[in-house]
Structure formats: C-alpha cells, structure tokens
Structure 1
Amino acid sequence: MNTTLTPYYEKKLQCLLCKTNFISTKIRSSFVKVDFYDKDFCPNYFSDEVNPLFYSVFVCPHCGFSFTEYFSKYFPPGTREDIINKVSNRWVSQDYGKIRKIKHAIASYKLAAYCGEIKREKNVTIAGLYIRIAWLYRKINNKVQEQRFLRFAMNEYLNSYLNSDFHGSQMSELKIIYLIAELSYQIGEEKQAVLYLSKVIEKQNTTTERTIVEMALERWHEIKAT
C-alpha cells in the first residue's frame, strides 16, 4: 500500500447556490513554499506545479456556480434567479475539481468573478479575484491580459476603499490603500499612484504595518527619481 503523502487532498464542499455536495482539490500547506513576493503581493512559489493559487476557486460541477471561501452565503434578492438564468441554465457540466493547469485556474477565477458580480459580492472580494487572474496571466507572460485585470482589480479596490466594504475582511485599510497605489502605478496611472502612496506614508507613525510603509516609500522614491 502506497502511503506517500502527496501535495494534494480533496475538500468536500456544498454549493452555495444549488446545495449539491461536490469535491474540489486543494494543496496541503506543508507543501507550499514561497520564494518571494512581487510588489503587489503576488506570491512566487519554488514549484510552479504546487501552486495553491490554482485551487482557491470552487466550481460546482452541477450548476456552474463558482465561489471562494470569502463569498457570503447570503444572496441578495433576485441574484439567485439571475445566476441560474445567466450561469446555470447555460452550464455545460464539467469538473474543475481535479488537478488544474493554469488555463483551468484562470477559467475558474473568471467564472467566480462573473458569479460574484451577479451576486453583488463585496468589492474587496471581487478585487481579490481580479488581481489573482492578473497574477496568473503574469506567470504566462500575457502582458495585455495582466494589465487588463490589474485595472479591474484597482477599480474594485478603489471602490472598496471609498465605500469601506473591506471591514471584516482580511484586508486592512493600509493594505487596500497601498494596493490602489501600486496597481495604479503598474497600469500607468502615476498621478493616482502618488496620491495613494502619500496616504500610506502619512500613516507611518501610527501603523504597525511597517513593511507596507517601507514598500510605499520605496515606490515613492522610485517614482520621484524618474
């Protein structure tokens, strides 16, 4: 009997929409080793094969509803029916629950973003999906699509900051402000980048998130030097 532990395990889930039980693959945290992070917090792993980013989205094979652990279980009035009409009724049954290649990961995130938009999930939740799509396109050097989804993510983070919907999430206000600045810089919106970098730097004496302040200062000096 082979008892060798693999990086993968099966997670039992229940679809938030149709309540059907299904299985989705996840990666054991003990196998996850980060080499370094990009300036927008994109993790770069030692192994391209063992990438937990590929498995954050759960795709119901029965109805097509796609979600993450950050999705609310609550469906605002009318959204359940809207998802059934726009997603489930057009769904061709397929299984995203096995080991994924990057193309499957990108497709799963796009499905989750579409479902999240219809469901009216928080801006901060949608932003998290868009930035991860951008990261995955970065891995395959698709600059056009990376830029497209970085812009989508920036707009969602900006809306999240303006309406304060990040409260109660894993994202702090400082991290949201920094990401607005960094993503603005990456898509060529330098004026907005400087504005939001300054908001981060203004908080340097009142925050415990020193790393984010240092990253903002580094980017600030880089912009000013050009």
Structure 2
Amino acid sequence: MNAPRTIAGGTLAADPRLITKILLGINAAVFVAILALNDEFVTHLMLVGAFPPPEFGWEPVMGVAAGEWYRLVTSMFAHQEFLHFASNMLLLWWLGGPLEAALGRVRYLALYLVSGLAGSALTYVVAAPQQPSLGASGAVFGLMGATVILLRRLNQDLRPVLVLVALNLVFTLLAPRIAWEAHVGGLVAGAVIGYAMVHAPRGRRALVQWGACGAVLAVVLVMIVVRTMALT
C-alpha cells in the first residue's frame, strides 16, 4: 500500500513532529550548555561579523569575516536568556508541527535551515561588524512566512497568523537589542521557499522546490562573500 502524501509531495511520517522535536532538543541542549559553561562558550557560538572592527587594525580578529563561517549556523541554535529561548521554542512547536506534516520531514528541515541562514546572512551584511547576534528567530520567522503561504494555499483563515507576524515585527522594531535583520531575512526566505513548496506544479515539483532552496542559498552565499570582501 502506498504511503500517504503531503501537500508538497513528501511522505507523511508516522510522527509528524519528529524533526520539530529534534530541533527543540538541539536548541535546549545548547541552551543548557550555555548556562552551565562560562561566557567564553557562547562567544564561540554567536554571530559576529568581525571583532575588533576592521578599522581598529587590531589582531587577531574573530568572526565570520575572519573565516569563522560556522557562526552563521551555530548562532541559530544559541540562546542566553530564558525568555528569548522560551518564546522561540514555543513558536517552533506551534508552527513547526503543522508545517512538518504538510511539507514532509526533508522539505521542512530545508525550510528551517535555509531561512535561518538567510536571517544570519542579512544580519552579517547589515549589522555593525562587532554587533553580536544569536537565537533561532530567523528560522522561526521563516516558519511564519511559510505558514502564511500554506494557509493561503489551503484557503484557511489567515488572520491569526497575520496578527502573530505583525505583532512580532512590531516587537522586533521597537524592542531594544533585537536583531531585526535576522527576523526580516528569515521571514522573506521562508515565504519564498514556502511558496515554491506548496505551489510547485506536480510534474516539476522537486525541481521547483529544491531549485528555490538552491536559489535562496545562492543569494545567501553571495551576500556573505561580498560582505566578507568589504570587511577584509
């Protein structure tokens, strides 16, 4: 008997929240490790472009511009404050389950990771080189963007999720110490990838879906390379 299919063409897993649970577990484990270890540990995880700033002329310099590209990924799973961690994980659980069930595990994971990278890349490009940033907000905003697209595709009521997006954007712009760049970058990337995943024609579904992920990744890579060249 054939396995049931999701709206995006993937296979509906027995546990529709498996990847969401794994992502929650990784974030929780990193959060506990940060609390247990000293500040030097989180310093190696957070996103920072270049510190000290290039104009200072001091050596050594740490950050993405110094070749530490891994920070674009590790910062997506790092949180220092409980409220920040709890709010991101609550949104991940609320939004992630339905998206994982609709898209399938692999596509859902691609959406999460590429959206998070897009948020990190925009932060790296726009924020001051020495400004630190961390948190899963870019990836979570990507889930928000994809959720809007999915609900519209299914002709569901958009008002609850639109209110959620609007409130989060207002909070992003008004609250201090919030990396709005990660939120905006993740939201846009999530909406683009989500559109490709739920609107891809059946005959070219995989090509369109993975092509969209590849295109967003290509834009992210160009942004990172250009910014690195400007800082070095």
TM-score by length of 1: 0.27
Q: Larger radius of gyration, structure 1 or 2?
A: 1
| Larger fraction in strand | 1
| Larger fraction in helix | 2
TM-score by length of 2: 0.27
Point out which structure has higher relative CO (alpha carbons under 8 A, 6+ apart): 2
